[in-house]
Amino acid sequence: MGAAVIDWTSMHWTLALPEIVLAACGMAILLAGVIVRGNFFRMATMLVVGALVVAGIMVVTGGQGVGFAGMFTVDAYSGFAKLLALICVGLAVITSLDYNEHEGLQRFEFPVLMLFSALGMLLMASATNLMLLYMGLELMALSTYILAAFARDDLRSSEAGLKYFVLGALASGLLLYGLSLVYGFSGSMDYNQLAKALTDPAHVSPGLIVGVVFLVAGLSFKISAVPFHMWTPDVYEGAPTPITTFLGSAPKVAALVLLMRLLATPFGHLLIEWQQLIILISIASMLLGTLGAIGQRNFKRMMAYSTIGHVGYMLIGLAAGTQDGIRGALIYLVIYVFMYIGTFALITAMRRRGRAVESIADLGGLGRTDPLMAMGFAIFMFSMAGIPPLSGFWGKYFVFAAAVNANLWTLAILGVLISVMGAFYYIRVIKVIYFEEARPAFDPRPASLSFVAAIGGLVTTFFFVFPAPIVAAAEAAAKVLFR
């Protein structure tokens, strides 16, 4: 720092090639959308998916290292997160194809905004500097605010967007305040230098701890952890369904990955300071997510509470503060996003005579009218309830294993008991599907939604057959944080 001369050779800008390509593609598609006459939505969607695939390939094949003067790190951890986030965005974009055409939302800005949001996520995954962290986060968040309000003639969607924006701005404020406190009390924004400065918990200024608390609060908002979850049910219910699909998956991946790197790397030595905080947030999220979901009639709203609960389980892994714990949380994250996106692909397909329906009661007797869709829902619900051999069980298995290994018995016992309570509302959905009188059948499913649901269903059902690659990748990613 300090020197005005920038050493261009040590920037290693090729490390950021996926991000650069994604940004270039986004701007090109945006330009094309302005120039091309006629409806560009379908084409833009395909191009965005293409750009995401290209970026994904670059993430997999690209090298590792540190670039941009330590701000930008590419390692196994960031690669894992980027690939997962890109998959989530890609699948969410595909679910919007049919929905937007039905709802009159076929505007090319829609997929492009998702692409820019994805760009923000990639930056978040690689951020090893508080400033880049904030930039990535805002790029992701600003796009999602617009997307939540995209159905601008729909009152609920506008309300969702506004609510999300106001509360999101508040959370950003908290985050910035925390950031400035950390910078003020430690003198650096760089993860490595912070880690070097904060090796002894006994000699850390209380101001810095307050800063960390603010950082955790700001990020808790993004992962909708209690007590910063208030926006979640309203936004999830009000936003267009593909956006709910998107909001519950990719931003959660990016924000959780960011939070874990932040707490484990620069503040890793302060484990005893933040562990209690994460344990509390985790228990509160699991409990509130579960209790809140029990009374819901709207499926999207129920899933919002379900997400809050799942985030609570993932935080168990972080609370353990060990490599096992981060590994467990990463595995849980992978499993969760596939269950979640699969469920939402099916929710998006709930349509009667052209009108989207979204209450749980509308699923009545689906087992008779559409056995395949019913089976899909059953797989996802049983999996979310954590019943083996479905994948949801494995997510819980790995985070609870970490909690047990770290001797967090209270957290583990509360966690499993809350998961039983959670099973109640998941199997209630299955009850409606299989045990109740049949309602009129849904409209035929478009192929795009079947495709996404099938991917989610296959991963969820057959994860147990080949868990090793995902577990090994998560292990390699987690190892990076504990070098």
Partner 1 sequence: MNAAGFPLLSLITFLPMVGVLVMMMIRGDDAVIAANARWTALWTSLITFALSLVLWSHFNPADPGFQFVEQADWLPAWGITYKMGVDGISVLFVLLSTLLTPICILASWESIQSRVREYMIAFLVLETMLIGVFSSLDFVMFYMFFEGVLIPMYLIIGGWGGPRRVYAAVKFFLFTLCGSVLMLLAMLAMWHTAGTTDIPALLAYHFPAAMQTWLFLALFASFAVKVPMWPVHTWLPDAHVEAPTAGSVILAGVLLKLGAYGFLRFSVPMLPLASAYFAPFIFTLSVVAIIYTSLVALAQTDMKKLVAYSSVAHMGVVTIGIFTINAQGLSGALMQMLSHGIVSAALFLCVGVVYERIHSREIARYGGLAERMPAYAFVFMVFTMAGLGLPGTSGFVGEILVIVGAMKISFWLSLLGGTGMILSAIYLLYLYRRVVFGALTKDDLKSILDLNAREIAIFAPLVILTIWMGIFPAHFTSFWDASVGAMVSHHQTAMLLDHAVKLAGVMK
300 contacts: CB under 8 Å, gap ≥ 6? 236, 237, 241, 244, 347, 358
| Candidate residues 148, 149, 326, 412; the one interacting with partner 1 per rule CB under 8 A | 412
| Candidate residues 50, 187, 371, 444; the one interacting with partner 1 per rule CB under 8 A | 371
Residue (170 or 387) nearer to partner 1, CB: 387
Closest approach, Cβ 389 to partner 1, in A, equals 5
Residue (77 or 400) nearer to partner 1, CB: 400
Q: Evaluate whether 342 touches 456 at the Cβ level (below 8 Å).
A: yes
E strand or H helix that includes residue 72: strand 72-74
Please report, as residue ranges, which positions from 448 to 477 form the binding site for partner 1 (by CB under 8 A).
464, 467-468, 471-472, 475
Q: Using CB atoms within 10 A of its CB, is residue 336 exposed (0-12), middle (13-18) or buried (19+)?
A: buried
**52: nearest Cα among 4, 6, 3, 88:** 88
Q: What share of the chain is helix, strand, coil (3-state, %, to 5)?
A: 75, 5, 20
Closest approach, Cβ 467 to partner 1, in A, equals 6
42 in contact with partner 1 (CB under 8 A): no
291 in contact with partner 1 (CB under 8 A): no
Distance CA 463, CA 391 (A): 6
Closest approach, Cβ 79 to partner 1, in A, equals 20
Residue (337 or 381) nearer to partner 1, CB: 381
Residue (27 or 472) nearer to partner 1, CB: 472
Considering CB under 8 A, how many residues would be counted as binding partner 1?
A: 37
Residue-wise DSSP of 24-40: HHHHHHHHHHHHS-S--
276 contacts: CB under 8 Å, gap ≥ 6? none
Closest approach, Cβ 443 to partner 1, in A, equals 22
| Candidate residues 68, 193, 405, 443; the one interacting with partner 1 per rule CB under 8 A | 405
| Candidate residues 135, 404, 455, 476; the one interacting with partner 1 per rule CB under 8 A | 404
Distance CA 341, CA 336 (A): 8
Closest approach, Cβ 296 to partner 1, in A, equals 17
Query: Residue 28 to residues 36, 116, 312: CA-CA distances in angstroms?
Result: 12, 12, 39
Name residue 66's beta-bridge partners.
Answer: 73
Please report, as residue ranges, which positions from 311 to 370 form the binding site for partner 1 (by CB under 8 A).
367-368
Q: Give the range of 9-17, 147-155, 253-261, 428-436 binding partner 1 by CB under 8 A.
A: 428-436
Write out the residues near partner 1 by the rule CB under 8 A: 367-368, 371, 378, 382, 385-389, 393, 396-397, 400-401, 404-405, 412-413, 416-417, 419-420, 423-424, 427-428, 430-431, 434-435, 464, 467-468, 471-472, 475
